[in-house]
Amino acid sequence: MVTASSPVLVFDSGVGGLSVAAEIRRRLPGLPLHYLMDSAGFPYGNKDDATLIDRVVSVCVAAVNEQRPRLLVLACNTASTLALPALRAALDIPVVGVVPALKVAASASSSGRIGLLATPATVNRSYTDNLILDFATGCDVRRFGSVELVQWAEDWIACGREPSGLFEHLDSWLMHPQSLSHVVLGCTHFPLLKPMLERLWPTICWVDSGEAIARRVEQLIAGQEVNAKQEKVMLFWSGERIPAEGVQRYVAGL
């Protein structure tokens, strides 16, 4: 039974899903929010699909059984492209996944030159091919798979360390042969670096799914009780290693 204290559980392998949690918090400040990071399973990018599906389902089902949330947000693009059907089959609560916002970027770009910046696994999946066919036909979609940005986002939240090689890493892809007008941040880690991306490439519009996910959560809980008073976000993790102080401060500030 859903009560005012029933939380929404946001799940990711690391800190990336905090970008989604922040959007949910802004839109629904009275909604109890739990954040679970699969520290023991991080990173997801080096695991095969079958292992990853088993891992995500196992960790999420255990967390749902323990925490009894009203809804689960799978705030990880890689996990969403693989494990969403299995999770929905295993759970009796709504499960919201994350999809790269290619439709938004394609609709907004007058030049039709858009980019998808995600993990190598996401940019190479047939799931992504189908998204482009469905929502970005006629656009020039350039893809870039980066594992570096995932770690840079982790380091930024954990210890406040700005990535030193960001410009060299992305500039050639972003600006040549012609500059992209819109870039889809297809990994939830990447919006955490958005202030730096906007500073280095101010002419590009950076698009992520956080606001859309928050709107979807709002739709799904419409009519349910929420707290009138905002409570702090609760942080959970797998394994014995306690999250870095920077991560704890970030969560406390939501």
Q: Say if residues 193 and 166 touch (Cβ distance below 8 Å).
A: yes
Output the CA–CA distances (angstroms, integers) from residue 152 to 59, 148, 159, 169, in the order listed: 25, 6, 10, 12
3-class DSSP state of 19: helix
Cite the DSSP H helix spans in the chain: 18-27, 49-67, 77-90, 102-108, 120-123, 126-135, 148-159, 166-175, 194-200, 210-220, 245-252
Active site residues: 76, 187
Residue 76 identity (one-letter amino acid): C
Nearest CA to 145 among 170, 179, 127? 170
What letter would DSSP give residue 223?
Answer: T
The token duo for 136 is 């970005």
Residue 183's beta-bridge partner residues?
A: 115, 206
3-class DSSP state of 39: helix
Q: Say if residues 5 and 32 touch (Cβ distance below 8 Å).
A: yes
Q: Say if residues 59 and 83 touch (Cβ distance below 8 Å).
A: no
- Give 175's Cβ-side CA count (13 Å radius): 10
